[in-house]
Amino acid sequence: MAKPRILLTRKWPKQVEQHLAKRYDVTGNPSDQPMDSTQLKAALRSFDAVLPTVTDKLDDAVFDQGNMQVKILANYGVGFAHIDSDAAKNNNIVVTNTPEILSECTADIAMTLMLMVARRAGEGERQLRAGAWQGWHPTHMIGSKVSGKTLGIIGFGRIGQEMARRAHFGFGMKILVQNRSTIDPEILSEYGATQLESVDDFLPLCDFVSLHCPGGSANRHLINRQRLDLMKPTAFLINTARGEVIDDSALAKALKQKDIAGAGLDVFEREPDINQDLAGIENLVMLPHLGSSTAETRIGMGLRVADNLDAFFDGCEPKDRVV
Ligand code: 8YV
């Protein structure tokens, strides 16, 4: 029987591409440029499986065509808000993602941002590299203590829980949780965490707020001007979830006016384009979407996609089916 034809929309770790080639007729993307909607439409017409990433905007218009060959979109990543789930479902296309495997590394990046912004590590490094450091003195670049403070986590899924584990056991932080559904009290007690009903009641209590909820229209601008106003002026906002969860123009204003103390961002609404309102703000640390970017995790994510594909083409239910 002919091997199923699969398309990798970006370059993947070599080991994973080799692993996939054993069972599939693999087409890669050696240029590694993001695909536009014309290329994505053509891909849905000609491949049995398409393996997209966050840079592929699979919206309704891309699915709006006849003669689709594709049967599964095996996403490389846990977040899949870039895929129109209703359109996939209406076209009988299965969608899978890669949960669990990237939770630890994404939480590590959220911790990195939290520590960097609170301890002014970005500012300090810029000062030193610019040759502007004038030596130690008692009032030099004073930051905020992290240990023992209150961390509010919005979205208490696997990544949110890994963040809680690090913050609570590593830094003695008190954990508050905001989540759409009720979290099992046994899970909360594992991290000494307390769940609060509304975001508006929760924000004024936090010294740090870390976002771990899904992106997409449901959570677009969840953190807006009004919600930034509810945060303490000494508090910090961390985002490793999706850019659209924050209104970044409102955030830029809040940072400039010192309505909050600082922010750490790994994700952006129109990445890789950055809202120019954010440029030059000192109490802001920005990373280029590095959450899952370790060798172990990126290989693990690829092998997880392979497992999902194997199950699908064996006629079984893929473990990580989301649509
Ligand atoms: C991925 C992520 O690298 O998995 C996710 O949802 O945000 C990233 O860590 C990216 O989405 C790849 O598609």
Find the CATH number of the domain harbouring 33.
3.40.50.720
Same domain for 84 and 110?
Answer: no
Q: How confident is the model at residue 319 (pLDDT cuts 50, 70, 90)?
A: very high
Q: Phi/psi at 88 (nearest 5 deg)?
A: -65, -45
- Indicate which residue's Cα is closest to atom 6 of ligand 1: 79
Question: Which atom of ligand 1 is nearest to 292's Cα?
Answer: 9
- Indicate which residue's Cα is closest to atom 2 of ligand 1: 77
Q: To the nearest whole number, what is the mean pLDDT of the chain?
A: 97
How many CB atoms sit inside 10 A of residue 239's CB?
Answer: 24
Candidate from 16, 75, 106, 292 with most ligand 1 atoms within 8 A of CB, to mutate: 292
- Element counts in the chain: helices (H) and strands (E): 13, 12
- Which residues contact residue 118 at a Cβ distance below 8 angstroms, ignoring those fewer than 6 apart? 143, 144, 145, 146, 208, 236, 262
Per-residue pLDDT, 52: 98
Same domain for 176 and 304?
Answer: no
Within-domain flag for 182:
yes
Q: Does ligand 1 lie within 6 Å of residue 83's CB atom? A: no
Q: What stretch of H or E contains 53?
A: none
Per-residue pLDDT, 65: 80
Per-residue pLDDT, 64: 83
Catalytic residue numbers?
Answer: 242, 271, 289
User: pLDDT by residue (tens digit) across 167-223?
Assistant: 999 999 999 999 999 999 999 999 999 999 999 999 999 999 999 999 999 999 999
Same domain for 250 and 307?
Answer: no
Q: Does ligand 1 lie within 6 Å of residue 99's CB atom? A: no
Find the mean pLDDT for residues 109-124.
Answer: 98
Same domain for 90 and 220?
Answer: no
Which structural domain range is residue 127 located in?
103-286
Within-domain flag for 90:
yes
134 CA to centre of ligand 1 in angstroms: 40
Within-domain flag for 246:
yes
Per-residue pLDDT, 316: 98
How many CB atoms sit inside 10 A of residue 11's CB?
Answer: 13
Per-residue pLDDT, 67: 84
Within-domain flag for 19:
yes
User: pLDDT by residue (tens digit) across 215-260?
Assistant: 999 999 999 999 999 999 999 999 999 999 999 999 999 999 999 9
Within-domain flag for 156:
yes
Domain count, the chain: 2
Per-residue pLDDT, 305: 98
Same domain for 149 and 280?
Answer: yes
pTM of the model: 0.97
Same domain for 196 and 257?
Answer: yes
Token digits of residue 97: 């993602």
Size of the chain in residues: 323
Same domain for 186 and 49?
Answer: no
Q: At what angle do helices 295-313 and 103-118 cross, to 10 degrees?
A: 150
Query: For residues 235 and 263, what is the distance between their CA atoms, to the nearest angstrom?
Result: 9
Within-domain flag for 319:
no
Same domain for 108 and 68?
Answer: no
Taking the C-alpha atoms of 201, 250, 114 and 300 in order, what is their torsion angle to the nearest 10 degrees? 100
Same domain for 207 and 68?
Answer: no
- Indicate which residue's Cα is closest to atom 1 of ligand 1: 77
259-272 b/e (C-beta count within 10 Å ≥ 16 → b) = bbbbbbbbbbbeee
148 CA to centre of ligand 1 in angstroms: 30
Within-domain flag for 49:
yes
Within-domain flag for 323:
no
Whether 270 shows a pLDDT value over 90: the answer reads: yes
Find the mean pLDDT for residues 263-278.
Answer: 97
Same domain for 248 and 130?
Answer: yes
79 CA to centre of ligand 1 in angstroms: 6
Whole-number Cα distances in Å, 311 to 51, 90, 320? 15, 22, 10
22 CA to centre of ligand 1 in angstroms: 25
Same domain for 16 and 143?
Answer: no
Per-residue pLDDT, 1: 79
Whether 288 shows a pLDDT value over 90: the answer reads: yes
132 CA to centre of ligand 1 in angstroms: 37
Same domain for 141 and 78?
Answer: no
